[in-house]
Structure 1
Amino acid sequence: MCSSTLFAQNHKRVNGLVTDTSKTAISDANVLLIAGKDTLRTSTDVDGYFNFSRIKADQFSLKITITGYQEFSKSYSFGKEREMEIKGLELRFSGNMLKEVLIKGKPNPIRVMQDTVEYNAEAYQVFEGDNVADLLKQFPGLEIDDEYNVKTMGKEMVKLRINGKDFFTNNVKDFIAKLPAAIVAKIQIIDDFGDEANFTGIKIGEPTKMLNIVTKPGMNKGQFGNGGITGGTNDQLGGNANMNLWRDTKQSSGGLNYTTSNNGAGESENMRLSANHRDKLGKYGSLGLSYNIGRNNSAFKTEQAVETLNPLGTFYTNTKSSGENKNSNQNLGSDFSFNNKKIYLNGSFGVSYNAGNNLNSSFNNQLGIIKQDRNNNSESSNKSPRVNANVSFSKILKNKRNSLSANLGFSTSSTNSDQNISTNTLYYDKDTQVLEKDSLLSRNLISESNGQNVNIGINYSLGLKKLKDSLARQALNFSYTASVMRSRNDVSTIVFDNLTNQPRFIDSLSTQYTSMLINQSLGINYNYSNKKMRYNFGFNTRPSLMSSNYLNLHQKVNNNHINYSPNINLSRTITKGKTISVNYSGSNNAPSLYQLQPVKNAQNLQNVVVGNPNLKPSFNHNISSSFNYVHIKSGVSVQTGLNFSTTQNEIVNNVILLPDTLNSLKQETRFENTNGTYNVGNNYTLNIPIKKNKYSISYSGNIGLSNKATFINSIKRFNKGINFSQQLRGTLNLKQINITASTNYSFNSNNNINLNSINDIALFNLGQVSGATFFRTHNYRADLNGSLRLKKLNVNTNINYSVTNSDATFNNQSNRNVKNLNLSLSSRATVKKSYFVGFSASKQINAGYSLANTNPFLLNANLSKAFFKDQSLSLNINANDLLNQGNNLARYVSGNSIIDSRTNQITRVFTFGITYNISRFGGKVFRVDAD
């Protein structure tokens, strides 16, 4: 027995974790341990872990190899310890081009790991000329719109990295249209808790979604960009030069773009200059610098027809507006980081300046409950400088189980605006429709505001004793954060006499206001992690102190509040290919200056806004969870997400319709704190690949329940609703043919649809209530897309049909059905290797809009001639909308309103240009076709 005990004591043990540079686990890596004359072999499991036991020697060396990565080799010594855990075994991608290997095995389209969903590009169709966005559109669970915004399970993708490293601006939409899909090996969707959390291992709060592109071996360097000049029949003249140089961690880019044209409403001019550089700083650091300047001047003409339901009846509003917007901005930024595995340091600095001028002339006609006409002319200017800085520090302490983190941030900003507004309102008798009064009001609104914000945070992690599981870690985390926000706002209102044009200061519409808000959070958390599970739970106390001083009113208001909330984070790998996660987060949100000012804002006479100085900060609770599953053999995958959110002391609008002296109506918007709003939502995707993903069937959708608190005429009410969407999609992927068919149904009864797309509706739409929903919207849609890719001919077709029905919870007599049928065909042919001929046609049939519309038939054609062996230089002729039938018409459903909107724009344009394109990665040229 003594001999057995002595034998066990003489043996040592090694555990380790192998990842790539993005901290993603690498499975099936070959691990070789050499200790004296003994050689031990193993491979990493699905989570990247390996272990060796029965090691006799005090010193040993490790060698780790896997195809596509550089070999890792290093020597170690046990010292006094008999057990060693080795973290930070990062394998770098191989810089040597490997010969193409024919994969006879079946590539698995999706792999799920803790905090990561990984898509294998080998399992999807990639054609010559495809960009990364074309590849992403094939992945189940991802949504990509025309502006290259990416969502996964309803959440925005906010950060881009390549091979786990910062990539130029880290902006997703900036690069997924520029990078060729052919350089991609894998795409990883990562729950990102931040670089500091990756360093300390303490992951608390709600993660953001990060897109990490893993390139093929040797493709982590290249040059891409373009330059050219263009002229067109719509007085268009433009030029651009953009270049990006990428050498793994060394990145430099520069760009200059200028375009001027006639957009149908007048002159449109755009200019942008940008520069960016990032490189290593010493052995463990990196430094990034960026600068950009832009100017945009654009004339506009718009037309809107709005139907607004209200308990008093229905408002019908028709508006025509025209004018010009001028905006300019400058941004200078810098960031740095340092990480030597013991100390992590990160900082950023930024300066920005924005300025704008706006001219607007509009005519507004209202019918229904009241008849009222309004001519409004306005001129405004604004300036907004801002400076911000932030630094974070983390250190692993001597015993390697404890860590200390701290951060400090500062920002200061100001906004100065000057508005001159002239409003001519015509009041009509409610019964006879006879003009009763012609009112003219000219006023000048001057606003000056500035604010400063300082935030600090400190976190100490106390490692607890080791557990029997050698890979397990547990710790207590103590945290404190505080932010101090100070602001001042001065608003002056001056009214001009209609006869003498003499100015008069209106003190009842003016204010001087200062405020200070202090948010604090004190928390304690228990954290546990091993190779298959990570969880933490704890408790936070969040006091909020707000003090407001209204100088002109000699009034002070103090609002102090305290909130308590738990901390919950759980991530577990149940079995290979099956993961689950749960996260809870809570946050204080202060009311804005706009919501606090106790004076009337008369910018819009039809919607006078009055702030509430007694508003309390709101507190948001959010719980999210996800479940991911992939069957290893078949590749069948399931992705689901469940979210719940509610708000304490939510700040909502109280919209009040008041009769005036002419028996007409005017609107007043105030603000109240209230409780009762909640949202529950579930997203899900089932994908079934068939025959090595040549065929696939997917079923996806979401179900949501919501309860929205709102006030109408000072009476609180709740809008309870259901949001429901289902989609069935089938895909056929062959070498030359790709066909996708889908059918979709959605129902929304408590949702503001496309609200962010609508400009200035509140200025014209009397009776609109933000958050109140009176419409139930049904949408039926069917799509059929096909493509044929031959050596010298590409053909794409698309057919989609949609029906949208918005019925009301009351006053359901109007027909609000909108129907759209879209048919399109496009082709691109190669003639004598260097000539390219393109053609596209589309027919759209519209029905049901309030605005007059046509059913446009759009014909486009283009011809290009390529030069040089790599065809990098091309001469292009384009003809857009040959029949001149373009029709910019759209419908939105927002709250209790349906809005049909049209923008005037020249669509028949002939352009001529010359372009030089560069797209070279790993020594090879890749073509990237424009979408």
Structure 2
Amino acid sequence: MINKNTFGKYLSIFIFLLLSFSSIAQENSNDSIKGRLIDDENAEPLTGASVMLLHLSDSTMKGMISKPDGSFVIPKVTPGKYLLRITFVGYQKLERNIEKTTEELDLDIIGLTPKTETLNEVVVEHKLPMAVQKGDTTEYNSAAFKTNPDADAEDLVKKMPGIVISNGQVQAQGEAVQEVLVDGKKFFGNDPTLALKSLPAEVIDKIQVFDKMSDQSQFTGFDDGQRTKTINIITKPDKRNGQFGKIYGGVGTDERYNAGGTINLFNGEQRTSIIGQSNNVNLQNFSNEDLLGVVSSNSGNRRRGGGRGPGGGRGGRGGGGRRGGGAMGGDVNDFLVGQQNGLSNTHALGINFIDKWGEKVEINGSYFFNMSGNNLNQSTNQEFIIPNEENQFYEERNTSESDNYNNRLNLRIDYKIDSFNSILIMPSLSFQKNMSTSLVDGSTTQFGELLSQTKNLTDNDIGGYNFSNNLLYRHRFKKKRRTLSIGLKTGSNSKERENSLNALNYFPSEIPVYADTIDQLTDIEMNGYSVGTSIRFTEPISKKGMLQLNYELNYSDDKSDRKTYSFNPELETHSELDSLLSNVFNSKYTTQGIGGGYMHRGEKYFLMLRGNYQTAKLENAQQFPNTGDLDYTFNNVLPMAMLMYRFSRQKNLRIFYRTSTRQPSVDQLQNVLDNSNPLQLSIGNPNLDQQFQHTAMMRYSASNLEKSSTFFALFSASATDKYIGNSTIIASRDTVILGDIEMNAGSQLSQPINMDGYKNIRSFITYGIPVAGIKSNVNLNAGLSYSKIPSMVNGQKNFSNSTDMTATIVLSSNISEKVDFTLSSTSLYNITTNSSQELLNNTYVNQASKGEIYWMFYKNLVFRTDLTHQYYVGLSEGFNQNYLLWNMSIAKKLFKADRGEIKLSVFDLLNQNTSITRNVNDAYIEDVRTNVLQRFYMLTFTYRLRHFKI
């Protein structure tokens, strides 16, 4: 295990020094500068405005007058630094420092502010709009949200309507943000939280939220449905050349420490960002790519593929906790998102690099390393549905320690061969290593009597890697809008795991009383590779219409070799192969699809229709302990349609429908028993079919420039045929199932099966408006979600219906940099019903309120405090909690321009911090309590780096 305190102190010093030094270079190019001028109040184009460009090195000037649509183009601008000056009668003069580095510098839309006029001592002031709509992109104006001088990008976006950051997850407009761009370029791979913590708020000009299409779809113009919710941070032009960031270090009581920093080195097109941290105060930066090892070490019931409804994982958390997972499956998201449970020490270093090499090559890459140690103490209460019987209750106490190591490398190279051809290459590689020890004490009761009990000790040693590479060739023909693109994707992965299990199992309900012991060693090797290609051709058939033809071929091959050995006391080694717990399995999956589409773009609308015919073949081969093949062929028609309608410049509607298929994972298919928890067994199912899913979505966005308000509404629904749910056998007495699996009273066995009837519905609305009287912004959010999850319990079909109703109000200050506050309150009301067992119907409530205050007062003293209140009703006995988490600090600004700060802080002043989670699953409801960080004091020194070139 890691010597956390010693290593952490040395790494803290290393990061603190490393982030203090760097260098940078840059290349330039030349051509024109263009933009478009509008009125900030009504977004109308400004005709006849004077646009002047002053070369700062020799004072030469160029100028022109804006056109009827407000646009302007200043041609033949050589590389260099300029002052852009725009004047227009009745509007305030605008001056901006810019640097010409790209082939064509597009300044995009520039808003001019009407002059303020005084009439009879009545001042008419211009309201800066919080957001405007640009097609399906919502663009927030950072100047409309005042933040304190220490704020980063995360602090800024939290003030914006429809954006929520909680437990390491970033959500925008009701959907999870998967990517953050900076000036249109990838930033730290697919890690939104890491990206938002790397940039100070003061360098940000705009925040754009949109659904980013795949690279191939962006080139062809045809949407393939593979969109990712994305935030694009647009920096201020005068902040794109310089060095900025911060370094910090702090020591506290109970041997707590926290050190790290961020350094950003911007020089036009060339940008380097470095982020580092070392702490034992539960500050974590993990993306899904970093969690292979952690996932594997905690995946006892790995095949529970049904997932959970919207109620799953709700119920809030304390500081240092997180929302829990639901039923476990093959997807990393089913296990951990954002932060680990328990107490963690984290050591991390990340580097992001962006540059343009000459006129033809753009490069973007990032490397991220983290190492973490985790201590977990967890209490779990589960209530299981048993049709026509009294429910069973399972209680568990889990104590574990783990060390996790991750290396992640992402690269993106865009090579422009000539004006008609280009190649995009995007490799990604990650390595993980995890070691863990877990002690579990679990018991099952029914009618108030003990049925079974287990005490088991598990050790895991896991290592693995994931590699993928996407290559995209793009060709434009001389005929406008005629294109050809060919995509090639490859991938491979490997995971090796050694697991030792020592367990004592006790069954007092049996006659005679029965007890057994388990001493076994399991070796698991999982390997896979995939290859695929996508060919698309587009052809214009009119000025507004276009056709597309496409062909896709994908192939994957996954193998799992699982061998379990029992302890041989004579040889004193694990040498007896247990065939019931051993299996070698191979799964191959091939899909081919051919289809086409039509796209029509009108003045106010955009219509796209697509259809694919897909044939798929699933080949399953068991090679040990028995041999046998199971092959399946699937044929499907996959339609897709999208309509976008623009009511006005600031109001638009998007309607989307698509169909898709999903194959079962190799661990869901592998027919081998997993007894890592002897009371909760699981086994695969080689007879699984692919899932077929229908998804529909409607999204409406509107901005009111006069009121400076923004409104957004989302409605989505999905239904799945042959949904991979769970069949659970809950034994109230000794029984033998599936031919040779013995189950004692109080034990359970789950197996994935295909079922129809899965449905999911979500709706979300948000409304934001400034309140002039108190110089603040109000954001109102409301959501309603419903899920219907099918399952089988003891051979009887059950539908778990879960409904979530949420309402949130956020009041954020817009007063000044010296006074900054945010008040919020969220109410969650959950109703869960079950078709086969009404006794398990449940209702619970969670009320979470929070207040954050920043106040700079006498002689640059700074007072900060945040107070979180959590209230629960309807959970298991002993889990309903009502507590306050109160953090507070007092600081003094130091040095010129307040670059330095010394701060004394206290975490959890009242010592009440708690972490509680409610998970609603297909066969049970569970409440989970996890250990969290509690009260400590810390003294921290921070130095902000700021040096911008004019």
- 1:819-858 mapped onto 2 (5 Å cutoff): 819-822=881-884, 824=886, 826=888, 828=890, 830=892, 834=893
| Unaligned residue ranges in structure 1 (runs of 5+) | 1-15, 51-62, 74-87, 467-472, 753-768, 808-813, 835-865, 924-931
Q: Does 1:275 align with 2:295?
A: no
- 1:184-583 mapped onto 2 (5 Å cutoff): 184-227=204-247, 230-236=250-256, 240=260, 242-255=262-275, 257-259=277-279, 270-311=346-387, 312-339=389-416, 342-369=420-447, 370-429=450-509, 436-466=513-543, 473-497=544-568, 501=572, 503-552=575-624, 553-583=626-656
SS at match of 1:218: helix
Give 1:918's aligned residue.
945
Q: 1:639 to 1:748 in 2, by over 3 A?
A: same
Q: How many residues align?
A: 801
Q: 1:150 to 1:426 in 2, by over 3 A?
A: same
Shift in Å, 1:595: 1.1
Shift in Å, 1:886: 5.3
SS at match of 1:605: coil
Give 2:804's aligned residue.
723
Contact 2:802/2:832 (8 A) holds in 1: yes
SS at match of 2:211: strand
SS at match of 1:664: coil
Q: 1:258 to 1:132 in 2, by over 3 A?
A: closer
Structure 1 CA distance for aligned equivalents of residues 588 and 342 of structure 2? 45
Q: 1:123 to 1:435 in 2, by over 3 A?
A: farther
Q: 1:484 to 1:29 in 2, by over 3 A?
A: farther
Per mean C-alpha deviation after superposition, the further-off stretch among 357-366 and 484-493 is: 357-366
Shift in Å, 1:234: 3.4
Structure 2 CA distance for aligned equivalents of residues 43 and 721 of structure 1? 55
Structure 2 CA distance for aligned equivalents of residues 449 and 823 of structure 1? 43
Shift in Å, 1:663: 6.7
1:470-519 residue CA offsets vs partner (Å, 9 max, x unmatched)? xxx31110111111001222111212246775631122322222221012
SS at match of 2:194: helix
The percent identity for this pair of structures is 20
User: Match for 1:200: what amino acid?
Assistant: T
Structure 2 CA distance for aligned equivalents of residues 291 and 734 of structure 1? 39
Contact 1:330/1:353 (8 A) holds in 2: yes
SS at match of 1:613: coil
Give 2:67's aligned residue.
42
Shift in Å, 1:727: 3.4
| Unaligned residue ranges in structure 2 (runs of 5+) | 1-32, 52-63, 74-83, 88-93, 117-123, 284-319, 321-340, 736-742
SS at match of 1:465: coil
Structure 2 CA distance for aligned equivalents of residues 324 and 242 of structure 1? 30
SS at match of 1:199: helix
User: Match for 1:538: what amino acid?
Assistant: R
Query: Rg: which structure is higher?
Result: 1
- 1:658-697 mapped onto 2 (5 Å cutoff): 658=731, 659-660=733-734, 664-691=745-772, 694-697=775-778
Q: Does 1:133 align with 2:150?
A: no
Q: Does 1:121 align with 2:142?
A: yes
User: Match for 2:734: what amino acid?
Assistant: D
Give 1:842's aligned residue.
none
Structure 2 CA distance for aligned equivalents of residues 905 and 802 of structure 1? 15
1:262-289 residue CA offsets vs partner (Å, 9 max, x unmatched)? 9999997643344332211221321234
Structure 2 CA distance for aligned equivalents of residues 821 and 169 of structure 1? 37
Alignment partner of 1:639 out of 694, 712, 719: 712
Shift in Å, 1:90: 5.8
Give 1:615's aligned residue.
688
Alignment partner of 1:747 out of 825, 829, 845: 829
Contact 2:385/2:793 (8 A) holds in 1: no
1:626-649 residue CA offsets vs partner (Å, 9 max, x unmatched)? 111223322333210110111121
Give 2:896's aligned residue.
869
Q: 1:702 to 1:797 in 2, by over 3 A?
A: same
Contact 2:36/2:108 (8 A) holds in 1: no
Give 1:8's aligned residue.
none
SS at match of 1:313: coil
1:499-557 residue CA offsets vs partner (Å, 9 max, x unmatched)? 77563112232222222101222221001124532221121112111111112322110
Contact 1:113/1:579 (8 A) holds in 2: no
- 1:573-612 mapped onto 2 (5 Å cutoff): 573-612=646-685
Give 1:779's aligned residue.
846
TM-score (norm: length of structure 2): 0.76
Contact 1:795/1:825 (8 A) holds in 2: no
Shift in Å, 1:453: 0.2
User: Match for 1:665: what amino acid?
Assistant: G
Structure 2 CA distance for aligned equivalents of residues 26 and 68 of structure 1? 19
Contact 1:594/1:611 (8 A) holds in 2: yes
Shift in Å, 1:218: 0.8
Contact 1:532/1:572 (8 A) holds in 2: yes
Contact 2:377/2:398 (8 A) holds in 1: yes
Shift in Å, 1:49: 12
SS at match of 2:843: strand
TM-score (norm: length of structure 1): 0.77
Give 1:469's aligned residue.
none
User: What's the Cα RMSD here?
Assistant: 4.1
Structure 1 CA distance for aligned equivalents of residues 484 and 277 of structure 2? 46
Structure 1 CA distance for aligned equivalents of residues 43 and 556 of structure 2? 45
Q: 1:139 to 1:229 in 2, by over 3 A?
A: closer
Contact 1:224/1:245 (8 A) holds in 2: yes
Q: 1:344 to 1:693 in 2, by over 3 A?
A: farther
Shift in Å, 1:358: 1.4
Contact 1:235/1:262 (8 A) holds in 2: no
1:802-829 residue CA offsets vs partner (Å, 9 max, x unmatched)? 543337xxxxxx7688242537474635
Give 2:790's aligned residue.
709
Shift in Å, 1:906: 6.2
Q: 1:403 to 1:439 in 2, by over 3 A?
A: same
Structure 1 CA distance for aligned equivalents of residues 46 and 186 of structure 2? 25
Q: 1:255 to 1:209 in 2, by over 3 A?
A: closer
Structure 1 CA distance for aligned equivalents of residues 659 and 673 of structure 2? 33
Point out which structure has higher relative CO (alpha carbons under 8 A, 6+ apart): 2
Structure 2 CA distance for aligned equivalents of residues 28 and 68 of structure 1? 19
SS at match of 1:234: helix
Structure 2 CA distance for aligned equivalents of residues 100 and 33 of structure 1? 15
SS at match of 1:175: helix
